[in-house]
Structure 1
Amino acid sequence: MNGELKGGSQLKNIIKNSLGEIEISREVIAVLAGNAAMECYGLVGMVSRKMSDGLTELLGKENLHKGVEVKIDEDMLTVDLHIIVQYGTKIHEVANNVIEKVNFILENILGFRPDRTNVIIHGVRTK
């Protein structure tokens, strides 16, 4: 990664350069990852990563970040995406496409890619 990751209650990615520091919050990473995932063929939608939010309810466009968990531990960035795939698609291909798209978008927009990108499939539905 180009930046230094710092821990604490407000985990953020901090990129240092000659002009100063750029802080990127976990929520920004989650929004970008959620929007990138939704562009993939075979994805019906995102679901909440929290049990209390109702796992089977699809999230609207304004809440896609709730289906993405961003973890920063010991200078390692992990992105978990909680999705529903379309019936009749090859699940492993959809998951691989989501991982590739999210990594590509984060690297191009933020300048770094996650160390790990995990896809958790909560169900299969028709569109």
Structure 2
Amino acid sequence: MSTEKTTTQNTATENRQPKGELTFDDKVIQKVVGYAIENVTGLLGVDGGFVANIKNKIVNTDNPTDGIGVEVGKEQVAVDLDIIMEYGHNAHDIYKQLTEVITKQVRETTSLTLIELNVEVVDIQTQKEFDASQTSLQDRVTDAGSTIKEKTSDGVDAVKKTTSQAVNDDDNRVK
């Protein structure tokens, strides 16, 4: 009899779900959205603003969350994007692609439902203009640092050469 009772208790314990809840930090949803939109045709970038763009280049990270705002509930997500679209593409087609990929990836990754997607086109550029604008402060500082290093190295070499010649001249005079 006690075996029967124990079996029933174990079954009841096994069928009960543990208490607790699963939540997602805004940053997680921002990253899911950022990764989801990487290959949308006609989307050149998501604009995090001047300060955010410089900040990410200074610390040398590629942060997929800049320019992506989210509100995360227990079952639903709302997303705001500021985008730079490529000239020659249709904004409505880009919006449709964004809606499809974000809805799919948020659902597959988190089981949350996208209930709202607000997209603001903050700029339109050609691919060439966009590529040229991606030269960052860090890139410029790195280039300047390389130039300074080369010039310093050239200067040190010149001083060594001059010093070596002076020592040789002194050796010749002392004899």
Question: Normalization by structure 1: what TM-score?
Answer: 0.71
The higher-RCO structure (CA 8 Å, 6+ apart) is 1
Q: Is the 8 A contact 1:83 1:122 kept in 2?
A: yes
Distance 1:102 1:76, change over 3 A: closer
Q: Is 1:95–2:95 an aligned residue pair?
A: yes
Displacement after TM superposition at 1:114 (Å): 1.8
Structure 1 vs Structure 2 CA RMSD: 2.7
Question: Normalization by structure 2: what TM-score?
Answer: 0.53
Equivalent residue pairs, number: 106
Q: Is 1:123–2:102 an aligned residue pair?
A: no
Q: Which residue of 2 aligns with 1:41?
A: 41
Aligned equivalents of 2:35, 2:44: Cα separation in 1? 13
| Aligned counterparts, 1:61-76, within 5 A | 62-72=62-72
For 1:47, the aligned partner's letter is D
Q: Is 1:23–2:23 an aligned residue pair?
A: yes
Q: Is the 8 A contact 2:67 2:82 kept in 1?
A: yes
Would you tell me which structure has more helix in proportion to its own residues? 2
Higher mean displacement: 74-83 or 86-95:
74-83
Aligned equivalents of 1:103, 1:73: Cα separation in 2? 15
Displaced runs of 4 or more, over 6 A:
none
Distance 1:112 1:75, change over 3 A: closer
- Say which SS state the counterpart of residue 27 (structure 1) adopts: helix
Aligned equivalents of 1:98, 1:76: Cα separation in 2? 17
Q: Which residue of 2 aligns with 1:82?
A: 82
Aligned equivalents of 1:103, 1:117: Cα separation in 2? 9
Would you tell me which structure has more strand in proportion to its own residues? 1
Displacement after TM superposition at 1:64 (Å): 2.1
Q: Is the 8 A contact 2:85 2:123 kept in 1?
A: yes
Segments of structure 1 that go 5 or more residues without pairing to the other structure are 1-17
Higher mean displacement: 110-119 or 82-91:
110-119
Q: Is the 8 A contact 1:84 1:125 kept in 2?
A: yes
Identity %: 23
Q: Is the 8 A contact 1:83 1:121 kept in 2?
A: yes
- Say which SS state the counterpart of residue 114 (structure 2) adopts: coil
